[in-house]
A and B are shown apart, each in its own frame.
Chain A
């Protein structure tokens, strides 16, 4: 029974990693940049949403949408004004820029909100529900349901709408996309917007479990990255597979080995995967042309 319990909690946290990981995937395929600021955007989403909820007293469902748009706009500005121009200098510049963005977003939370961890209300109820002998807190159910909802939404968006296909086309073959009349610039911005927005939403989902704010930005961001690398950064479903796998691995490690080294094992997993199978579980090996 323990095993089932750990698996459920792993799936919960893994769902959040998957959403964060999708952000890395979108930005990577469209601009070849790994956005180091992703983790700080997740935390920023958490505190912004908390402000909307507590100070403005907005309804929970609305907060999801507003936070998504706030984070999305931040993502567009960050890309257009900073990461994009820096990337034209060199790869190193774009790395330094997103690392700088991480610092600025993280410090902005500390300065304009607080350095402390803030209680974040759960979507509904705190009392665990007993399902087939497994105790599940309602927030965990909500996380899994909302993630499933977001994932199917993304699937429909990218497979059944012209706009979604245009984003993928612009990411895969920018030149060809331009030839058929797709505005690659706008599509790149859309990727960044979607990625940042999803990070913000992930922040709302995870905050009732881990608190809003606090100093977890780097850890959360890297977990999302581990997820996408584990699954394969070139495969659309990579982040989902990797996220769930990482979540389960983590909760099993916490349950059976030690919670202190849980993070160290995840980070070690990243190095191991990159060294042994850089294309991830789902990805296909690709040779780089010289």
Chain B
């Protein structure tokens, strides 16, 4: 069983490595890079919501902390992207501990409101601290990183593309999370989600796990923020506000709570659908808002929940026939 699982990860890695060279145009690669970046944030948020049973409405703030840290380290201090990226993730994780500790005091609606406020406060700080974040103008001209003397971007000539950075980050974090969840800590998180009191009574250190869940999600958001800034070469404060936090929430819920595949499905949908219906641009968020409400109402498992249900039913039928 373990060998088969390892094989899946290996195949996924090869698919990601080869995908941009299978004759897809640059535009699609750009779009999918963005989807990969979103998916990493969504993966963390989905973990907090679906696996740990907590709620965070301020995830874009950590995305922003990662992006601003990485961008500033690259542009102001000329530090290599490969060092700046983990630094961004680290700072985001540090900030992520704050809502983690707040989650020890609040549950449900209160926690949602508190994390929302946390996101709003950081949004204001992004705008009002120009010495750190560039203020309303943001940080322009973020250079591409280099590896072995070659620039990483999504141009046709590049061998290693931003696409690879985004999707390998996603794959690596998904693999780590998967390991975390299939071990003892996975059952602990499930216990906390289903009944915090009972979990505490059986001796699970609930506080530590809750804080850890928020930190993990914040680190993932921070890292993808770092990749985002080398993807777009420009970041401004408006990208990391509450609106974006809600967009990440949409991605996670539409895709499927608590499932890594769901996070990827949601991100692909969120990145690709607006391009498909370009002429209806102004309806984009209205459509996604309605989808969010409908999914919560009729399919709490999200789109991936529906699909995987169907697949497992068909699979059972096939097995019974044989």
The reply to whether A93 and B300 form a contact with Cβ atoms under 8 Å apart is yes
The reply to whether A264 and B110 form a contact with Cβ atoms under 8 Å apart is no
Stretch of A46-54, A206-214, A266-274 on the interface side: A266-274
Task: State which of B117, B197, B249 has its C-beta within 8 Å of the C-beta of A267.
Answer: B117
The reply to whether B124 and A274 form a contact with Cβ atoms under 8 Å apart is no
CA distance A110 to B197 in the complex (A): 43
A-B contact number at CB 8 A: 111
The reply to whether B125 and A274 form a contact with Cβ atoms under 8 Å apart is no
Q: Say how far A183's CB is from chain B's closest CB, in angstroms.
A: 24
Question: Which of chain B's residues have a CB closer than 8 A to the CB of A89?
Answer: 296, 300
Question: Which of chain B's residues have a CB closer than 8 A to the CB of A162?
Answer: none
Select the residue from B55, B293, B300 with max chain A CB neighbours within 10 A.
B293
Q: Knowing A92-B49, A100-B292, A260-B128 touch, does A34 contact B117 (C-beta < 8 A)?
A: no
Q: Does B289 contact A (CB under 8 A)?
A: yes
Smallest Cβ-Cβ distance to A112: which chain B residue: B286
Task: State which of B113, B128, B249, B286 has its C-beta within 8 Å of the C-beta of A270.
Answer: B113
Chain A 53-92 interface 0/1 with B at a Cβ cutoff of 8 Å (1 = within): 0000000000000000000000000000010011001011
Chain B 283-306 interface 0/1 with A at a Cβ cutoff of 8 Å (1 = within): 101101110110011001000000
Q: Does A261 contact B (CB under 8 A)?
A: yes
Task: State which of A92, A93, A267 has its C-beta within 8 Å of the C-beta of B121.
Answer: A267
Smallest Cβ-Cβ distance to A268: which chain B residue: B121
- B residues touching A (Cβ–Cβ < 8 Å)? 49, 53, 55, 57, 102, 105-110, 112-114, 116-118, 120-121, 124-125, 128, 197, 242, 246, 249-250, 253, 282-283, 285-286, 288-290, 292-293, 296-297, 300
- A residues touching B (Cβ–Cβ < 8 Å)? 33-34, 36, 82, 85-86, 89, 91-93, 95-97, 99-104, 107-108, 110-111, 218-219, 222, 225, 260-261, 263-264, 267-268, 270-271, 274-275, 278, 290
- Taking A93-B296, A103-B288, A108-B286 as known contacts, 13 extra A-B pairs with beta carbons closer than 8 A to each other, sorted by chain A number, are A33-B109, A36-B112, A82-B293, A86-B297, A93-B300, A103-B250, A107-B289, A111-B282, A111-B286, A264-B121, A267-B120, A270-B114, A271-B118
